[in-house]
Amino acid sequence: MIFKTISDIITLELIEKKSRFICILSPLIEPQDIEKILQAASQKYPGGRHYCYAYRLRQDTGILERCSDDGEPSGTAGSPILNVLKKRELENIMAVVVRYFGGTLLGTGGLVRAYSGVVQSALDKARTVSMEQSRKIVITMDYSHYGSFENRFFKSLNQVINIQYADRISLEAWIALDQIPRFMAEVDNLTGGTASIELHEEGFVPQR
């Protein structure tokens, strides 16, 4: 299973009829981060008229989606922000748009264009990454097999976290769930059954 998200926090500002629209895009890991992101936006940009937002967060039961107009006319801010995230097929992401009112009313159509436009522009600036459902593994093998293992299998690992050199080499890494059975069989064949592979927790990590 794979989903797309952004790698870093991105900020972008748009001016529409003297109103400032500041979009902050943030990677979202867990529900507790939502309030932290909102607080960070209000602290960095105090005195805004509106702090509208939307987020999409992957959970075991599906995608949790929420949005807020924060005082703007209903459907003119939160929903347009959320629609942009959905159209880009992004998950585990939150977009907050801070508006400083410039004195000119934009109308419902103008608000929708401004809120969706600043998020689109921010996403154009962001770097997206594909996150793949993976499992952490620890492989221990003799030194005599490590060169062949590295040449043959490193490209199939999503992440190599740590390598320890002791009596034998121990390598900690993440690998896609659907590759594990074949990987284990091929490592067993390469090392003549002398390597050990421990299976640990599951999670989503960047796809190589």
What's the pLDDT tens digit per position in 161-195?
A: 999 999 999 999 999 999 999 999 999 999 999 99
Angstrom distance (rounded) from CA 195 to CA 187: 7
CB 97 within 8 A of CB 161: no
In terms of C-beta density within 10 A (0-12 exposed, 13-18 middle, 19 or more buried), how is residue 192 classed? Answer: exposed
Contact 78, 55 (CB under 8 A): no
Q: How confident is the model at residue 60 (pLDDT cuts 50, 70, 90)?
A: confident
What is the Cα–Cα distance from 154 to 206, expressed in whole angstroms? 15
Domain boundaries, the chain: 2-126, 132-206
**For residue 61, pLDDT beyond 90:** no
Grade residue 40 by pLDDT with cuts at 50, 70 and 90: very high
| Segments of the chain assigned E as strands | 2-6, 10-16, 19-27, 50-59, 62-68, 93-100, 128-141, 159-165, 169-176, 196-206
Contacts for 164 with CB less than 8 Å, ≥ 6 apart: 170, 171
On the CB side of 137, CA atoms within 13 Å amount to 21
Q: Phi first, then psi: give them for residue 203, nearest 5 degrees.
A: -175, 175
List pLDDT tens digits, range 110-139.
Answer: 999 999 999 999 999 999 999 999 999 999
Q: How far is CA 69 from CA 11, 50, 54, 74, 138, in A?
A: 19, 8, 9, 6, 47
Q: What is the pLDDT of residue 207?
A: 87
* 54 closest CA partner among 44, 63, 45: 63
Question: Once rounded to an integer, what is the mean pLDDT over residues 12-38?
Answer: 95
Query: Can you tell me the distance from the alpha carbon of 32 to that of 120, in angstroms, rounded to the nearest whole number?
Result: 25
pLDDT in the model for residue 104 = 87
Mean pLDDT of the chain: 95
Q: What is the pTM of this model?
A: 0.83
- Looking at residues 66-76, what average pLDDT do you find? 96
- pLDDT value of position 208: 79
Q: Is the pLDDT confidence value at 77 over 90?
A: yes
Q: Which residues are within 8 A (CB) of 75 and not within 5 positions of it... i.e. 6 or more apart?
A: 69, 108, 112
Domain 132-206 has CATH 3.40.50.12170: no
**What is the fold, at CATH topology level, of the domain defined by 2-126?**
Ribosomal Protein S5; domain 2 (3.30.230)
pLDDT at 1: 85
